[in-house]
Amino acid sequence: METLKNSIQFKVWGRYALFTDPITKLGGERCSYHIPTYEALKGVAKSIYWKPTLIWYIDKVRIMKTVRTQTKGTKPLKMSGGNDLSIYTYLVDIEYQVLAHFEWNIHRPELAKDRIDGKHFQITQRMLERGGRQDIFLGTRDCQGYVEPCNFGEGIGAYDDIDELSYGLMFHGFDYPDETGKDEMVTRFWRPVMKHGIIVFEHPEQCSVRKFVRTMQAKTFDEGQNFKNVEIEFEELILQPGMEDGKI
């Protein structure tokens, strides 16, 4: 598969994962979906590399290992203080291959000068080779993950011989105002189907089941206030004391 200047392929794995089914949150318990959600994998891609100039889209995921679960007791902190004993059901020993790509965020016209695909692609590749710019989490901060480059489709997967496995209505992801241009947060749902171990994700705009969550406004970026032109920042850097002597 030819690698485009906005596309990446990576392997992500970890000891535990918790892609929470929203229905199980009602009683304080949590139970993981058997497959990763679009939003969780998007979070992994953003932890590898992200800027508000771009939006990550997850194209495909390949399930490499047999789905296994483990139930553990935990004591999550309560906002009012103290904690209660809860039962969480995690996925155990997970490994996925992911195909993803980024597109420019057209709702960020103030960052149009930063739309340099070669630049962002090269940075993404370097960050991926180093295991990501930020910590990788598999659904929740309790579940540490790890990433490295891979060739999507290589190797033997646990479900390669399964023709088709359908799932019911599942959480897909969130629509945020900085990515949609609308002052609202919306939850998306879809019905995934795994074929020979591979799940092809619907594009967020294709998800027909949606639920309004709340109104929300996107953060604005104003040059000179909360972001700087790179030339100006470089000039300020070289004018620091000691820079002319090579001490910085």
Cα–Cα dist 215/97, whole Å: 35
Of 29, 17, 9, the residue nearest 137 (C-alpha) = 17
- Three-state SS annotation for the chain: CCCCCCEEEEEEEEEEECCECHHHHCCCCEEECCCCCHHHHHHHHHHHCCCCCEEEEEEEEEECCCCCEEEEEECCECCCCCECCEEEEEEEEEEEEEEEEEEECCCCHHHHHHCCHHHHHHHHHHHHHCCCCCCEECCCCCCEEEEEECCCCCCCCCCCCCCCEECCCEEEEEECHHHHCCCEEEEEEECCEEECCEEECCCHHHCCEEEEEEECCCCCCCECCCECCHHHHHHHHHCCCCHHHCCC
| Average pLDDT taken over every residue of the chain | 88
**How many CB atoms within 10 Å of residue 17?**
26
Mean pLDDT value across residues 200-227 = 86
pLDDT for 244 beyond 60: no
Overall average pLDDT of the 199-225 stretch? 88
- Give the confidence band of 27 by pLDDT, cuts at 50, 70, 90: confident
Nearest to 155 by CA among 67, 69, 96, 68: 96
Q: Which residue has the higher pLDDT, 83 or 89?
A: 89
Separation of alpha carbons 51 and 112, rounded Å: 12
Map out the domains of the chain as residue ranges. Answer: 7-174+187-203
**pTM above 0.85?**
yes
The average pLDDT across 142-157 equals 96
pLDDT, position 70? 96
Is the CB of residue 21 less than 8 Å from the CB of residue 39? Answer: no
CA-wise closest residue to 40 among 174, 198, 176: 174
Q: What is the mean pLDDT of residues 30-38?
A: 96
Residues 233-247, mean pLDDT to the nearest whole number = 56
Who wins on pLDDT, 80 or 163? 163
Q: Of 45 and 218, which is predicted with more confidence?
A: 45
Measured distance CA(74)–CA(3) in Å, rounded: 42
Total number of residues shown for the chain: 248
CATH class of 7-174+187-203: alpha beta
